[in-house]
Structure 1
């Protein structure tokens, strides 16, 4: 190859690579930092499990511990998802530029075979040769900069893959920890001191009400009939918290009020998609008006935060508490169904860039003076 064509080919390759270097200067989010932070959150959750076992108020401490594990596991999944997306982007970028890099190396190898003096010659004479030398001196820093970018990307790829390898052990410990915390919480609920009661449930009246009821509205209308020796008064008014109550469970709104489901059925409440075994808690201090199976809603918990206001939570697998008890805000009221996914399934989901396994659903309905209202007027929907 003569000096002029070799130089032209070199400039073509440098132009392509320099364009890629310019794109690489755009700041990408740091998924590695997010993944490490998630691992640290899980580590802190595991450290608090022993402290919760020894806490005086074990139910409250273990509830917070389960929440910490759920938040840590969610953050870990999200961190892994970001790691996977970043690694895939790097792989695609390197694959796209593989031909350009190979072309550049071919040109450099061809030029390296030519005698050094010949490279400085130019068909246009001394002036052309001087210009060629100036161009080569300008090209060298661009080559070095691009090489540095490629080295950084390869090192990032290596680091991200190491993070994915280490994540399996971190997730395994986290899943074991949250399972132990749930078991300890269930035992602590069973062993806790009796909670205040506003009334005693009449089981016969409850059974009659259930058998004679065809709608949730009808059942809610008859709730007062199942209460015996009810104390007068009500819990403090929470109307000032309207629109700011936290959702009872960690999840995402799947269907809003009035939206039809797959069968075309419309309900006045919202449906929240949650992960298996997710903890459900009361968003405010409330009296348990009913707990147990009801109609086609599965296990139902009906809470009364204040007179005339009912929160209906349906679809639980495990329920905590007894009808008539008064629960403090944030108290656990149950667990969702399903089973925790295996490590392999979680890694496969994040490997596909999904990072979500919300297979359970919780139905939440709000009733004011026994009329349904949009739950989004009460709850803080993110």
Structure 2
């Protein structure tokens, strides 16, 4: 290739590269995934400490939360890594021909002997002009070559990250399963919670059998005890609009909107991951826990007089009716089966939210009437 041809191709390539609109890269996906791995390692250390902690329920609850946050971050990091790898791969494939030309130009400039580079059909003046053009273009070509090398190295790093993620995820899933089992046992062994009443199983059974709606059951809760239920002095009015969500997830259906079956309900539906931990958003009395109607397992909490928080759709429920529990106390686990490692890795790049396969229904009733739960909870962010 002559010097004129080499310079001409180089100028064209430089223009083409400069015209490519490259979207600003988000925070390094590899770094995000590594941070998530560190979170999971920290959770493993916390689990060891939680076993010997005085308040084991609180310590284990924090440990499960740490594992859930770490696994969430790991999935998000892998998703972003997969998207970034796909973006880079598409970019490299789209410019395959130009990259080949670029490499050819760089190779020609690098290997051509100096006497040949100085020759020009128009004589010394042409050679001087070509040399000036070449002096301007060569740094640009080097920059593009550096960018190309960076992209290739990033693709390699991201692929290696995804290959190594399987063991990290496996350890994290094993750890959270162990923490959940320990938490269930710690709650069963707990004897230090105050009680407002003791539920009468016969009265409770009669109430359930005679109830056809959630509203009807909620209005008859006072009939569950053979003694009058002591008044509560709880007051969470100052927390209105700021209560934490009881589970990590996203709002799937708002109050009054139709669900997949076309049914409109006054509460909200939150999509969660399988086996997600559900906690009480505030200090409250457990008014009921167990199966109810067609709602699956239900937990009904009373944080203050004439107010009920109803959580339904759980697979497991904790505690006993009548107990007064602190804010953040676990009240149950969501159902579903945790996907295998391969399934998690395959879903990490689609960003569709398919991994949130479980739904928790949340309803709030004040003075016997339902109100929009979003007036009480912080739902602007994923929980």
TM range (shorter): over 0.9
Change (3 A) 1:374 1:73: same
Provide the secondary structure at the position in 2 that maps to 1:314.
strand
Please name the residue that 2:357 is paired with: 359
Counterpart contact for 1:198–1:230, Cα < 8 Å: no
Match of 2:147 in 1: 149
Structure 2's unaligned 5+ residue stretches are: none
Distance 1:351 1:260 in 2: 29
The superposition leaves residues 83-106 of structure 1 with CA deviations (integer Å, 9 ceiling, x where unpaired) of 111111111111122110112334
Please say if 1:272 is aligned against 2:294. no
Q: How far 1:352 moved relative to its partner? A: 3.6
* CA drift at 1:296: 1.3
Write out aligned runs for 1:1-382 (5 A): 2-20=2-20, 26-107=24-105, 116-354=114-352, 356-381=354-379, 382=381
Change (3 A) 1:16 1:229: same
Count of residue pairs brought into register by the alignment: 380
- Which blocks of at least 5 consecutive residues in structure 1 are unaligned? none
Of stretches 37-46 and 221-230 in structure 1, the one that deviates more from structure 2 is 221-230
8 Å CA contact 2:222–2:229 kept in 1: the answer is: no
Calculate the TM-score normalised by the size of structure 1.
0.94
Instruction: Provide closer, same or farther for how the CA distance between residues 313 and 95 of structure 1 changes in structure 2, counting only shifts above 3 A.
Output: same
**1:207-258, CA deviations, whole angstroms, 9 ceiling, x for partnerless residues?**
1111111111111111111123345331321111001111111111000000
- Aligned to 2:252, the other structure's residue is in SS state strand
TM-score (normalised: structure 2): 0.94
Alpha-carbon shift at residue 33 of structure 1 (Å) = 1.2
Alignment deviations for residues 126-164 of structure 1 (CA, whole Å, 9 cap, x no partner)? 322211110011111111111111111222122212211
Is the alpha carbon distance of 1:335 and 1:26 closer, same or farther for their aligned partners in structure 2, counting shifts above 3 Å? closer
For the Cα contact (< 8 Å) 2:3–2:130, is it kept in 1? no
Q: Matched residue of 2:348: which SS?
A: helix
Cα distance in 2 for partners of 1:72, 1:63 equals 14
Q: Mean alpha-carbon deviation: is it higher for 175-184 or for 160-169?
A: 160-169
